[in-house]
Amino acid sequence: MNEGQRSQVIPMQALPTWRRCVLKVGSNLLAADGGGLTSIYAAALADFIRASRDAGRQVVLVSSGAVAAGRAQLRAHTPSGGDIAARQALAALGQAPMIALWQSLSSRPVAQVLLTHDDLRNRRRYLNARATLRELLTLDVLPVVNENDTVAVDELKLGDNDNLAAIVAALVDADLLLIASDIDALYTADPRRDPLATPLQRIEALTPEVMAMAGGSGSTVGTGGMRTKLEAAAKAGAAGVPTAIFSGRRSETVDALAQGQLRGTFFVAGKTRMQARKYWLRHAPAAPGRIQVDAGAARALAGGRASLLPGGVLDVTGEFHRGDLVEIVDEAARVVARGLSQYGAVEVKRMAGRHSRDIEPLLGYSYGAEIVHRDDLATLVDIETTGDIDA
């Protein structure tokens, strides 16, 4: 049974409603013939991104293909694929044509964002990357994220953007992770080797038995396989983001996505995105510093719909840095919320009681109007709320 016949036996299912998604596209779809980049499959995916934007949705694209593009550029002079330094050089060479491919298929500006896993493990760099991606989406720019292969030796050894896509999905508070593959679903066995393999439409939990169904990479172009996609689904699910795997080689399958229909495998997230994030914010170790707020700010924060702005701050105690998890207390020193601070303790103390518009004149720079953004904040008490508090 060939790929086309197999995909016809997978029934359509409705995708959950989503406002923002991360779409991961692998090298096997962008360098489909094993050579240079081609739009043969990318064009339909670009159409999906365009249709999503027209429907008021946002898409962050995580794209592989730089190494394959670099190898095609050099052709006969291509260095050995097993040498890390050589692959880093190929990635550097191939970044420009990879971005150019997506720009040629997009009616709006495309921005390249290069990340390593370390960027997303470090809380300060995490906030910087988060703020950049948010601003790009606000500006109606298509972010194209890729692993920074030229410097990320450990990540390049792993060589998969599937897991990076899962991390980015949590980073941008996505509602859905979409993984475009050269295989149309998760099967009970590798369908390229086992003619009796059957597709799985819905996975409620990634058990060891499910993980055992995954095979390796299907070509010399890509560096991941179904196992890395399952690992990504597990990471995304832990952050409350469901995952869908589908064939990026079938235009009708890609077209159906814009109509909210999936022909592929859907991985249910164990918790909602908000539940997972709020749980972490409530229970992760906090920095020793605290931010004290007035009664109005305490009421606003308790509802979970307000950001902490400088005007509501009374005082700062202890030490913390930008990106640290801090406790926010009311005038009676009761902890009302916890969140990731956009500014360090010294900066917050200087801004206390001021208007957000005073931040840049006061500090000489600004990381945003909020000291703690509502998406990075979890409340611990129930107080009647108003809205954002500022002077």
Domains, the chain, ranges and CATH? 3-276 (3.40.1160.10), 284-379 (2.30.130.10)
Dihedral of alpha carbons 45, 51, 53, 59, sign: negative
How many other CB atoms are found less than 10 A from the CB of residue 274?
13
Mean pLDDT of the region 348-375: 95
Question: 5 or 25: whose pLDDT is higher?
Answer: 25
> Is residue 364 predicted with pLDDT exceeding 70?
yes
What are the pLDDT digits (tens) for 101-113?
Answer: 999 999 999 999 9
The pLDDT confidence band at residue 92, using thresholds 50, 70 and 90, is confident
The pLDDT confidence band at residue 78, using thresholds 50, 70 and 90, is low
Q: Which residue has the tokens 């990879």?
A: 98
Mean pLDDT of the region 71-91: 70
- Cα 17 to chain centroid distance, Å, stands at 17
Mean pLDDT of the region 275-289: 78
Looking at residue 375, its pLDDT comes to 86
Give me the residues paired with residue 265 across strands: 245
Question: 315 or 197: whose pLDDT is higher?
Answer: 315
Is the distance from CB of 279 to CB of 269 less than 8 angstroms? no
The CA-CA-CA angle for residues 195, 201, 207, to 5°, reads: 90
Q: Which two tokens stand for residue 262?
A: 């999936």
C-alpha closest to that of 240 among 165, 321, 311, 175: 175
The Cα 31–Cα 72 span in angstroms is 9
- State percent of the chain over pLDDT 90: 54
Question: 368 or 388: whose pLDDT is higher?
Answer: 368
Looking at residue 34, its pLDDT comes to 60
The pLDDT confidence band at residue 381, using thresholds 50, 70 and 90, is low
> Is residue 245 predicted with pLDDT exceeding 90?
yes
C-alpha closest to that of 323 among 115, 131, 117, 112: 131
Is the distance from CB of 25 to CB of 42 less than 8 angstroms? yes
Highest mean pLDDT pick, 1-5, 75-79, 344-348, 380-384: 344-348
> Is residue 219 predicted with pLDDT exceeding 60?
no
Looking at residue 4, its pLDDT comes to 47
Mean pLDDT of the region 367-391: 69
Mean pLDDT of the region 348-372: 95
Looking at residue 158, its pLDDT comes to 41
Backbone angles phi, psi at 379, to 5 degrees: -90, 155
- Cα 34 to chain centroid distance, Å, stands at 27
> Is residue 154 predicted with pLDDT exceeding 80?
no
- Cα 286 to chain centroid distance, Å, stands at 24
Q: How high is the mean pLDDT of the chain?
A: 85
Helix ranges restricted to H, 139-225: 153-158, 161-171, 208-211
Among the residue ranges 16-25, 72-81, 237-246, 374-383, the one predicted with the least confidence is 72-81
> Is residue 52 predicted with pLDDT exceeding 60?
yes
The Cα 100–Cα 253 span in angstroms is 25
> Is residue 125 predicted with pLDDT exceeding 60?
yes
Among the residue ranges 72-86, 171-185, 271-285, 332-346, the one predicted with the least confidence is 72-86
- Cα 263 to chain centroid distance, Å, stands at 22
The pLDDT confidence band at residue 223, using thresholds 50, 70 and 90, is very low
- State percent of the chain over pLDDT 70: 84
Is the distance from CB of 40 to CB of 78 less than 8 angstroms? no
Question: 131 or 21: whose pLDDT is higher?
Answer: 21
Q: Which residue has the tokens 């439409």?
A: 201
The Cα 75–Cα 94 span in angstroms is 12
Contacts of 160 by beta carbon, 8 Å cutoff, 6+ apart = 223, 224, 228, 232
> Is residue 79 predicted with pLDDT exceeding 90?
no
Contacts of 116 by beta carbon, 8 Å cutoff, 6+ apart = 147, 148, 151, 152, 155
- The per-residue b/e assignment along 64-93, b for 16 or more CB within 10 angstroms, e otherwise, is bbbbbbbbbbeeeeeeeeeeeebbbbbbbb
Q: Any long-range contacts for 80-88 (C-beta under 8 Å, 24+ apart)?
A: 81/220, 84/153, 84/156, 84/157, 87/149, 87/156, 88/149, 88/150, 88/151, 88/153, 88/156
How many other CB atoms are found less than 10 A from the CB of residue 43?
15
> Is residue 80 predicted with pLDDT exceeding 60?
no
